[in-house]
Structure 1
Amino acid sequence: MPITLYESGEERKTNKEKTSVVTGTVINNCDLIKQGKILVRIPSLDQELWARLTAPGASSGAGLFYVPRPDDEVLVVLSGDEPVDAYIIGGLWNTQDSPPVSNPLEASTKRVIKTGLAGGVGHEVEFDDGPGQSISITTSTQQKIIIDPFKIELRNTAGTLKITLDNKTQTISIAAAASLELAAVGNIKLKAANIEIGDIVKTAKTSINGKMVSIN
């Protein structure tokens, strides 16, 4: 047993500082009284208890708030002989729950933050220190922002809407499968050595409307 309970008050006091580290399974992650606690089952103790969740920068209304999901395996520290003094210090991967980096060869170059209510589905932030040297943000619906040494790219799920800042060619391109609209309460100014406006279809109509139109 990772923890021993004593009936003698003196013996209990002597072992008050005893600490055990055990594994547990999350049963309930909804703390209605908002104390940052998680209900976990400790198989080695054959009991369930509410454990305090540790977090980087935890303070009043601040800190990294990342709650483990039900059925997640967690590492629990029991302080002393009191089950109420329990702390979750982290989550554990296992044979059923794998890390978000699937390729073992990329484990040393990639850092990933992955959320989600179910395995494999969720938002993701990836830092790749490998040859690509990229940072990417991907939503659960596969909307994506990619930053690498050559470009900054924003695109939708289907790739039909895209904004690209190209470092190599020093160009900014905006592409839309349907329409592109620019709107402003004030003025819209276009300045360049040459401005080309053309139709993809040569027979398409071009119209310019305004109270005063000046072409010079």
Structure 2
Amino acid sequence: MTKDQIKSTLALTLEDHQLSRSEREALFQVFEPLRDAVEPLELRRLAFEVARDALRDSSDGGILAWLEALCKVLDRLEPKTEVRVAEAYFSPQDECWRRIVHLLDGARQHVDICVFTITDDRLSEAIVAAHRRGVAVRVLTDNEKAEDEGSDIDRLHQAGVPLRTDRSLHHMHHKFALFDNRLLLNGSYNWTRGAALYNEENFAVTDERRLISAYIKAFEQLWNRLS
């Protein structure tokens, strides 16, 4: 969504110089998916531009009331400093793979997975299930590990899951995933049966916005580089 499109959307809600409850909720639904691409501060700046343009043609106090109501909508988009999710998981035991399956099952919009190797069929089944119910799933993995016996990468490819692998002499050794850009999973845990049954591994799950933003950027850069 371009800045001009954002301003046009805002201007439409200003035509009657008020912002109804339904308009407030509609704007939140429009802007909420954009908050990783457009900072709330930039949205505020555009809103003030729209209000300033309107005030040139009218001194109606309703414009300021509209702006005040809109700022309350934008307040809801501000990154939360309070971390509500801060979880740690350890293997060997079942809690790691079960938590990953739960996160995959709970995803509603998109899942980005950047993992060195995937051989645990339970996790692959959950990835395919998310893809089939319309979640935008993307998987980045290591090219050498994708060829290993027991790798589920070909299975994911056959199911239509978008995949990219590195083609360098070195390894794509990350082990992180993003769920609806709201939760980040990151740690040493490979998505394998060995990690679940035998290895001393760990990962953390958090909703800390600064970390999530950094990993979104890292994933996008790697995804684009491997296109």
The answer to whether the superposition gives a TM-score over 0.5 is no
TM-score, length of structure 1 as denominator length: 0.22
Structure richer in helix, relative to its length: 2
Decide which structure has the larger Cα Rg and report it: 1
